[in-house]
């Protein structure tokens, strides 16, 4: 049951992160465009393993689903360990992911311009990944509390 709770919490954080990224890039030009980095990664990975990469809407959808899956798994790890440090762990995981997004893109051979185009873009990237981690931690906490109540613990 704990695995499912952690995965659902991770999904909550990943959904918030993707919704914010996708909404903000339509609203203002300074917004980071993490999907462009993801699309480049999908293309390079596909070619490396000898498959023709998707294009157009299929590439976009593949990128969003890949982001959602990888961020869900990453954020689900927040639920490991005791519940005392859950929110700090969520913030720490999110902060680490955001810093990784702005700092590791170029060393990984990807174009970092879509997320490092300005200081505002960098700050928003880190802030949004951190928010995703906090949302994941909050969801895990709520689901843990609900599970404890349903199975009769901590009444």
Tens of pLDDT, residue by residue over 5-48, are 999 999 999 999 999 999 999 999 999 999 999 999 999 999 99
Residue (of 51, 41, 60) closest to 108 by Cα position: 41
Structural domain spans, the chain? 2-151
Tens of pLDDT, residue by residue over 86-145, are 999 999 999 999 999 999 999 999 999 999 999 999 999 999 999 999 999 999 999 988
d(CA 77, CA 29): 33
Token pair recorded at residue 75: 């954020």
- Structure pTM? 0.92
Cβ–Cβ < 8 Å for 71, 132? yes
């Amino acid at each position: 049951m704990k695995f499912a709770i952690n995965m659902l919490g991770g999904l909550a954080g990943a959904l918030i992160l993707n919704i914010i990224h996708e909404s903000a890039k339509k609203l203002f030009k300074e917004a980071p465009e993490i999907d462009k980095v993801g699309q480049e990664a999908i293309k390079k990975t596909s070619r490396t393993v000898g498959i023709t990469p998707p294009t157009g809407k299929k590439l976009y959808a593949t990128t969003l689903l890949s982001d959602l899956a990888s961020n869900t798994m990453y954020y689900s790890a927040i639920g490991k360990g005791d519940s005392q440090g859950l929110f700090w762990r969520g913030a720490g995981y999110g902060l680490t992911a955001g810093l990784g997004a702005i700092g590791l893109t170029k060393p990984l051979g990807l174009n970092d311009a879509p997320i490092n185009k300005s200081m505002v873009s960098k700050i928003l990237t880190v802030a949004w990944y951190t928010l995703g981690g906090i949302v994941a931690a909050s969801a895990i906490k709520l689901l843990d509390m609900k599970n404890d109540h349903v199975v009769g613990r901590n009444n």
